[in-house]
Amino acid sequence: MAQSKFSRRGFLGKTAGTLAYMGTPSIISAGNQAGGLPNLPHHKATAKRVIYLFQSGGPSHIDLFDYKPTLEKLHGTNLPDSVRGNQRVTGMTAGQKQFLVNKTVSPIKPRGQSGVTISDLLPYTSGIADDICLVKSVHTEAINHDPGITFINTGSQIPGLPSLGAWCNYGLGSNNRDMPGYIVMLSQGKGKNPGQPIFSRLWGSGFIPSSHQGVQLRGGGTPILYLDDPKGIDRKSRRKMLDDIAKLNAMRLDQSGDPEIATRNFQYDMAYRMQASAPEITDLTDEPESTFKLYGEDARIPGTYAYNCLLARRMAERDVRFIQLFHRGWDQHNSLVPHLTAQCKDTDQASAALVTDLKQRGMLDDTLVIWGGEFGRSVYSQGKINAGRDHHGRCFSMWMAGGGIASGRMHGETDDFCYNITKDPVHIRDLTATALHCLGINDKRFTFKHQGLNHTPTGVEPTKVVTQILA
């Protein structure tokens, strides 16, 4: 008696094939992209969407947020061995005979009514001090850029796992069927050029269906490649072509059971809809002059950080679920003062403007804004005093705003050297768990089975929601 060939993959593939066509060309399957999973959210969400302002390279918490008056007195002295302990350091400073304490390069002061401490290098961010929650006790095991960026974005230092945006897109779906649920934009700062490389796997979907990966918007020219119709092909012809391809793919899907075929159909249909929606989002002619006064003149220039922040607000207005900006240039190993100053000038006004803009439009309450990088910087100087700072993952600062996060608050404490955490540590996994909590998701109940394992966005290690920073 012949055995029936049946597998979970084949069943899912055939199910997806049936759903992918069902006699209609508007394909919205591939993991139920439009509506998300039926068991989510796990609890009432405080945020509908996320804007993640990722500052690649490691912003210096010592110079921007974590005020330590002791450093003035200790400037130029050797960091005590008792403070550094047995910490693993990078090869760039491992051979140094001395680890000279480098004081904060610009005054850090309490701001607003809340007293959140922010540097003079960030005057615009200082103006929103009462709207943000500054977490000073974030930590990570990673000490180099690529593992660190991979870790904070995917939950592992090993490449290949789904990004946080892909997880959110998969679980919650998109509220705008004409735009992807996860959009990514890149910019380069003046602080260090070129900055650390940014790889597309940072917004990849890993083992989750690829329809949930981030879609990158380019800074110049055509926002998304291959979106325009070829010459001689009108929109009606394009629609008929896609419908015919969808029928053929549905037949192939029934034969092979490969769910990625349903994903391909979904992506074709999404591209068709984006031909109308994407140009409208990137057309800033309807923005008043007050917008550019708020974000800065760079907001008129495609590809700049300010321009991307403005686009992030426009996408948030259109209910894109997860919007992530990657801004390079925070890696100040040398020329600390001029490079850090330039980097702050690139990002400060627009970051603050985004929070202010969302607040003015009544959107900050349900939009979670996250600002930060993969790690911080060392209190000791790399090389000669005042030259630069090395990587430091044992403690660093990030801020969050809106979406259920308490405003005008600081959380966590570090020692007098900004080197070790002394109170309320927050691992990067805890930060991810807290962001997911705001979206109504329990990170340990949110799973995807792959190769026999029930994977979560935060891995197998214990996590905690940082309830102290919730509103």
pLDDT at residue number 269 = 65
In the block, which residue shows the tokens 């804007």? 51
Report d(CA 311, CA 219) in Å as an integer: 11
Q: Residue 122 in contact with residue 347, Cβ under 8 Å?
A: no
Query: CA 33 to CA 47: how far, in whole Å?
Result: 19
Per-residue pLDDT of the chain (471 residues; tens, 9 = 90+): 333 343 444 434 443 333 333 333 333 333 344 568 999 999 999 999 999 999 999 999 999 999 999 999 999 999 999 999 888 889 899 889 899 999 999 999 999 999 999 999 999 999 999 999 999 999 999 999 999 999 999 999 999 999 999 999 999 998 888 889 999 999 998 888 888 899 999 999 999 999 899 999 877 666 666 666 677 777 777 777 777 777 787 887 788 777 777 777 667 666 656 666 667 788 899 999 999 999 999 999 999 999 999 999 999 999 999 999 999 999 999 999 999 999 999 999 999 999 999 999 999 999 999 999 999 999 999 989 989 999 999 999 999 999 999 999 999 999 999 999 999 999 999 999 999 999 999 999 999 999 999 999 999 999 999 999 999
Residue 274: the pLDDT is 66
Q: What are phi and psi of 284, to 5 degrees?
A: -95, 10
Alpha carbons 137 and 132: distance in angstroms, whole number:
15
Closest CA to 151 of 355, 375, 382: 375
Residue corresponding to tokens 């919650």: 172
The residue whose two tokens read 């002394």 is: 422
- For residue 291, the model assigns a pLDDT of 98
pLDDT score of 86: 86
Instruction: Find all residues with CB under 8 Å of 91, minimum gap 6, and list them.
Output: none
Identity of residue 154 = T
Q: Name all domains of the chain by residue range, CATH numbers in brackets.
A: 38-127+138-228+298-469 (3.40.720)
Helix, coil or strand: residue 322: strand
pLDDT attached to residue 246? 73
| Confidence (pLDDT) at 286 | 94
